[in-house]
Amino acid sequence: MPLRTRPWLIPLSILLCLLSTGFRGHAQTPARPNVLLICVDDLRPELNSFGVPHISSPHIDALAASGVSFRRHYVNAPSCGPSRYTLLTGRYGPAGNNALFQRAKDTTGVPPSMPEWFRRRGYVTVSIGKVSHHPGGRGGPDWNDDAQPELPGAWDRHLMPVGEWQHPRGAMHGLAHGEIREDAAAMDVYQSVPGDDDIYPDGRITAEALRQLSTLSADGDRPFFLAVGLLKPHLPFGAPAAYLDHYADVTFPPIPHPAKPTGKTTWHGSGEFRRYHNWGKDPNKDPVFAEAVRRHYAACVSYADAQVGKLLAELKRSGADANTIVVLWGDHGWHLGEHAIWGKHSLFEESLRSPLIVRYPGMEQAGATSRAVVETLDIFPTLCELTGSEAPPFAQGTSLRYLLEDSTATGHPAIAYTASATTVRTDTHRLILHDDGFVELYDHTSPAGETVNVADDHPATVESLLSILRAADLATAKR
């Protein structure tokens, strides 16, 4: 009789080996899932799958079709540094771009970051590109000083390929073929150059990410936490010409509510955008230039989408997709002329809403869309629950597992802040509280949306939303 039908004849040495390895068969406890976190810089919900049909984003759209898309995900700060602080720590923090460097200086009583939390639990943690504020996660004049990490103890490997851009600082705002921003006024605000994806820094970041993903997938001894940070569509808007060609015959819709708001708001003069060489043109006064800016932003979105496609293809090729949670996250939104702003940094909807897509193996709601209000703080506890890790007691967000299982469930208020104001977004309203006590209230059930301040007409709503901000104690967190 064949041995496989008579288990009592298995030699004792083999039986002990099988017991020690967990039998490595159908009875084995499933391996802990991997995590692939894709961070995209300055990505507003400018995606076909998020209801923007003139945008070409097939790879992110495919991810959305296999996961759950959060249409009303809000970041906790409309700027790269503090937004990534909340993602990577699960906590509110300082409002400036040096938020993580401030945290790194405090060596006592600081809770572990999200990657450190997973690293302590046996994960191999690898970061490539712009995951924290500086690509590569280091300080110093050129952002490559190993003695100044943004996230001490977080990463087994923290990589930033720089190619002809010389260093991470050069790659951050790099244009084609190694052009580095030394004087923003001498660098074009947008650019489109013929060539392959590697002529811009994101091509190099993706190539390294593919190498790391291949290595991590082949090593099945430990689960991995791989974070990949793409730079585009951050300013300046540079992408290979093939991506701009997508939009040669595309009609862009009119800019909604393009007028500068009246009264006190968090409006600003688009200083970051205007630092660059704009050929003496103002997009608020020159509709041809405004459309060119929008087209080049769209080209950058399509370029970033192509890099996401490469990552997902390698994940599938390796077989690791069967046991990998994928999260795609935009670090904040970006105004393309709404409220006469070209940039981020306001507390309007356009600065704070960004894409969030979550996919995990075996999910029953693949392709679902959630309209629940959620926030970036929720990602850390969500990943802990999805991987079976204990919830971090210090995290200030809420796991979204229940929404991943029932996309029709309700969310919770989303809080955000700048150095001089805070805001809370609910299902129906946005309230903005300035540090001098002035209040803006916008009714999202009204067609006027965030163009008419109705605070004086709804004192009870104002007080209710102020109580949410008071409970968050943001003044303490922002110090």
Indicate which residues carry an active-site annotation: 80, 133
Tokens 């947008």, located at residue = 190
The two structure tokens encoding residue 91: 């906590």
Distance CA 416, CA 263 (A): 21
State how far Cα 283 lies from the chain centre. 27
What kind and span of H or E run contains 82?
helix 80-89
Largest CA distance in the chain: 89
Q: List, edge to edge, every strand of the sheet that includes 34-40.
A: 157-159, 124-129, 224-230, 34-40, 324-330, 356-359, 68-74, 368-375
Q: Which of 252, 208, 215, 211 is nearest to 230 (CA)?
A: 208
Strand partners, 417: 422
Q: Is 381 exposed, middle or buried (0-12, 13-18, 19+ CB in 10 A)?
A: buried
- Backbone φ and ψ for 371, nearest 5 degrees, come out as -100, 10
The contacts found for 286-291 with CB under 8 angstroms, 24 or more apart, are 290/255, 290/337, 291/252
Distance CA 382, CA 37 (A): 12
- Backbone φ and ψ for 279, nearest 5 degrees, come out as 55, 30
Residue type at position 114: M
DSSP, residue by residue, 110-164? PPPPHHHHHHHTT-EEEEEESSSSSTTSEESTTS-EEEEESSTT--SEEE---GG
State how far Cα 38 lies from the chain centre. 7
Contact 34, 224 (CB under 8 A): yes
C-beta atoms surrounding 114 within 10 Å: 25
State how far Cα 250 lies from the chain centre. 27
Distance CA 200, CA 109 (A): 40
The two structure tokens encoding residue 129: 């590109």
| Length of the chain (residues) | 479
